[in-house]
Chains A and B, each alone.
Chain A
Amino acid sequence: GAGVSQTPSNKVTEKGKYVELRCDPISGHTALYWYRQSLGQGPEFLIYFQGTGAADDSGLPNDRFFAVRPEGSVSTLKIQRTERGDSAVYLCASSPGPQETQYFGPGTRLLVL
């Protein structure tokens, strides 16, 4: 069966541009998580969806970051007015339900020039 997939695998953009990162969770998984990992560091939590709703968005660094999961499956992380400091690997994970083992996607490597 397919695991968590993320697209694109790499994204290079210019400062100030808008980007969208997509996550396809494992089919049937109700919980979906976004994390950000900077070079040499552990991931940090951004947002968690249970179904269609954002159950915890306390990790989003500022209002330039927004995420949606309109049908409770695919999720899109949206970053407006990108800054060089947004450069990182953005990881998505899903789990069958809350507080269960999380399965990670390969990540999207974002580089803001």
Chain B
Amino acid sequence: KNEVEQSPQNLTAQEGEFITINCSYSVGISALHWLQQHPGGGIVSLFMLSSGKKKHGRLIATINIQEKHSSLHITASHPRDSAVYICACRVSGSRLTFGEGTQLTVNP
């Protein structure tokens, strides 16, 4: 069992739909990152959070430390949101442990 697990693995949505991607982790962490990876490999950091909730534009990230769970929400999804979304946890020191990613496809 991976220390960081994401669900779903694949997600297809219609433009405009509200999207939720989940991340569960089994160890104590100091912070959790949500990353976006576009085809071709480029990774962009979306959020780093250790408690509560953060919002940036149409993206919202929440974390529940007691339940060891985080969610990434996308409101009013758009085809340009299509990418792989990766949850990564800072378990010890500065190293990150990554989930396997969620492939999101938003159809027009």
Question: Given A45, A100, A104, which contacts B95 in the complex, CB threshold below 8 Å?
Answer: A45
Given known A-B contacts A103-B45, A106-B40, A45 and B33 have beta carbons under 8 A apart: no
Q: What's the tally of chain B residues with a CB closer than 8 Å to chain A?
A: 24
Q: How many residues of A contact B (CB 8 A)?
A: 30
Q: How far is the CB of A75 from chain B (nearest CB, A)?
A: 15
Is B52 in contact with chain A by the CB < 8 A criterion? no
Interface string of A24-64 (1 = CB under 8 A from B): 00000001010101001111110010100001101100000
How many A-B residue pairs have C-beta atoms within 8 angstroms? Tell me: 67
Give chain B residues whose Cβ lies under 8 Å from the Cβ of A89. 41
The answer to whether A41 and B100 touch across the interface, beta carbons within 8 angstroms, is: yes
The smallest beta-carbon distance between A87 and chain B, in angstroms, is 14
| 18 contacting pairs across A/B (C-beta < 8 A) | A35-B96, A41-B100, A42-B100, A45-B95, A45-B96, A48-B93, A48-B95, A55-B94, A58-B95, A98-B93, A98-B94, A102-B33, A102-B96, A103-B45, A104-B42, A104-B45, A107-B42, A109-B41
